[in-house]
Amino acid sequence: MKPQARGRHTSKRGKFARNKTNQVHQRAPLASFRGPGYNDGAHVTLDESKVGIQCYRCPNIAGFTGIMKQRYSDFIVREVDTNGAIVSLTELSRNSTPSTKTVSNPKTLCELLTQTIVQFLPLSQHKSMETPINTLVKSIFASWKSLRKLQRETTTQRKIKEVQDLITTELNSVIIAGQMTQFLHKMLHTSGTNENSDFAQEVFLFSEVKDKAARTRIHQTIRTRFGHAIVSDTIANKEGVSVIRLRRLFVSGKKRKDVDRREANRWDKDRPEFLEFTLYKRNMDTNVVMASLARAIRCRVSNFGFAGTKDKRGVTTQRCTLYHGSKEQLERLNRLDRSLDEFNFLVGNTRFVPEKLKLGDLNGNHFSITIRDVCSSSETVLHDAISAWKEHGYINYFGLQRFGTRSIPTHEIGQALLRQNFKEAIDLIMRPQSGDPSKIRQAREKFQQQRDVQAALLEFPPYLVAERAILEGLERHGTNALGQAVQCIPRPLRMMYTHSYQSYVWNRAVSERLTKFSSEHPILGDLALPSDFDLVDEEVLLVDLDDAKVEKRRKSEREVVPVVITEENQNQYRIQDVVLPLPGYDIKYPQNPLLSFYEILMASENVDFQKLTQTMGGEYHLPGSYRHLIRRAKNVEYEIKRYDDPSIALLPTDVDKLQERSVQASIPDGKMVALCLQFELGTLSILSPPFFSKQKPLGRSSYATIAIRDLMKQQSNCIESTCKPETSVVQTHVAVEC
């Protein structure tokens, strides 16, 4: 169901129609959503069983309790590139240019430099040495300023001479060249003139230049030598003859008037088109950092490329690319007037590369995780748990983050959408939810009772994207146009809902498979793909709004054909090779009782993927995919540390390494115990026929929290803290065995 055009008049629009009169009043100021009543919400987590997570890989191996992500530096993620190398920030160019406008004042510059030098002296000498150092700095600055002025004048004279020689040669006229030289001197050495003055209106006109190549050479020479101050263009004189005109360039406020931009975006043809750099960030979303970078260097967000988004709550390092990027612009962001620990993100390790990074262009991620306040009966329990985890792996469930952060999981909304029950989907999105701030709860309850769309638009904050999109759709198309209102939700968000339902069915099928049948060996009718092969992650497709591109990428996965386990080939496969399908219209299901489980589950929820045609939209027309039942972490290393101070880092970040700063070693008699764990998830390998025939698909992400859940035998919503260093709370939970 697709929305009607915005400007189309229909009988459904009625009093909720968007018009010039009421459109202005549909959004309250953002500041009004930051006051009391909007910040008193409570953190709500889903119960794992509600999304099909029920089993542990080795339920007979004892687990332990602890806290993950107590500090941001307790969760360090470094990308593993397609060559298998761990991405780290090892080179950092820092720009010494102060960032504030006031520092451009010579007096302020001298004071800043004086203060910087004094800081290197013993404290007892600060007061006595400040005046002589300031005098010396002023003297040096004055000499440097005189030298810079002399250099600029010399450079200007050289450039004028080059242009003079060119004009003499091209026009064969020393007189014209001399007149032009006088004009350039006047324009370049006169300052402080208003652009409306007589001086500003002065121009220099060449005599007719018939040779087009000669005109081009003159324009290019003027532009490359004096493009910052002189404009060169071609106009028709009084006789209608095309002549070259030179005039002064003026800049008023933020507008550059009459700027010649034909050469503004020149790019060296021998230089690769993309600047690759390493992004180090702390407690920030990848997309938020990209938006900040785009604002800082004044480019489009779409100019950036990256292989995947990284966790917000942690310290992460990844490779990114920037189309026609400037190293100098990026280096300016790493200012010298701030400590490295003060930056929320840093950029470095720059180089030019021929191709843009795209989502999925990675082999996986390397994790360095600190689990604090570990509580177990003995260290032997920890060693045994890690040994079993390394050998047997973990159940590859979709983690809780796949199902949203509110009390109503996203798969329930996806289920309603796949049934084309738009009323139910809207009710699920709009209804009051546990943990809502008080004013948002009141707004939800009021809308439920009164259905006043315009009043709700004033009360729902902009960050409730789906809710506001629905309200705007109801206002635009009418309160009965439910399908059109749902289509107003941004497409990636709609796709997240439907993919969440697929993930829910997959989780339920996994628990059914491991509860009812062998967890150590494949059974007849299982589907298998080699365990070291990863499949296309539907999350990669969420950001691609082009249906044709999405379908092309899905097609590459549909070329993957899993093998059905039979008596003849059963000995060739392990439990790690078994895959289960995410349901869709073009997928192979297991040839055993699990087939009936899929059919009964989806029939009970009235979802039929075969009936969802492409005309309904790509978010409903889902072919399905495959996912491995069991995964194993690679390159696992660990250390058990004792410590006393919960605010001290136990594993080094890239900034720690850049500053050659060591982390806390284990204290023999420390009061608390931490497990420092390092491992990799999601490594790719080449897969040979008969499994697939053409290109290699992209890597599917694995959930680190799900892997740690299986290690600790704890529900994943019980092992994450709120990233407050001052807290030190032991989480306890009883393991549930299948």
Q: Which two tokens stand for residue 630?
A: 């069991």
d(CA 346, CA 365): 19
**Furthest-apart CA atoms within the chain: distance in Å:** 99
- Tell me if residue 311 is catalytic: yes
**21-45 b/e with 16+ CB inside 10 Å = b?**
eeeeebeeeeeebeeeeeeebeeee
Is residue 511 within 8 Å of residue 542, measured between CB atoms?
no
* Residue corresponding to tokens 């709009």: 430
Element (H, E) at 372: strand 364-375
* Phi and psi torsions of 402, nearest 5°: -70, -20
Q: State how far the alpha carbon of 539 is from the alpha carbons of 34, 402, 544, 702, in Å.
A: 31, 10, 10, 11
d(CA 147, CA 135): 19
How many CA atoms, within 13 angstroms, populate the side-chain half-sphere of residue 364?
22
Is residue 28 within 8 Å of residue 681, measured between CB atoms?
no
d(CA 124, CA 136): 20
How many CA atoms, within 13 angstroms, populate the side-chain half-sphere of residue 642?
6
Which residues are within 8 A (CB) of 597 and not within 5 positions of it... i.e. 6 or more apart? 508, 509, 512
Closest CA to 543 of 282, 279, 318, 290: 290
* Three-state DSSP string of 130-177: HHHHHHHHHHHHHHHHHHHHHHHHHHHHHHHHHHHHHHHHHHCCHHHH
Is residue 16 within 8 Å of residue 474, measured between CB atoms?
yes
Q: Helix, strand, coil: what percent of the chain each, to 5?
A: 40, 15, 45
Residue 369, SS3 per DSSP: strand
Q: Which two tokens stand for residue 205?
A: 């006109």
Closest CA to 436 of 8, 43, 20: 43
Amino acid at 438: S
C-alpha Rg value of the chain to the nearest Å: 33
* Phi and psi torsions of 93, nearest 5°: -90, 130
Q: Using the 8-state DSSP alphabet, how is residue 665 labeled?
A: P
* Phi and psi torsions of 437, nearest 5°: -55, 150
User: Which among 74, 311, 361, 577 is annotated as catalytic?
Assistant: 311
d(CA 388, CA 386): 5
Is residue 392 within 8 Å of residue 629, measured between CB atoms?
no
Catalytic residue numbers? 311
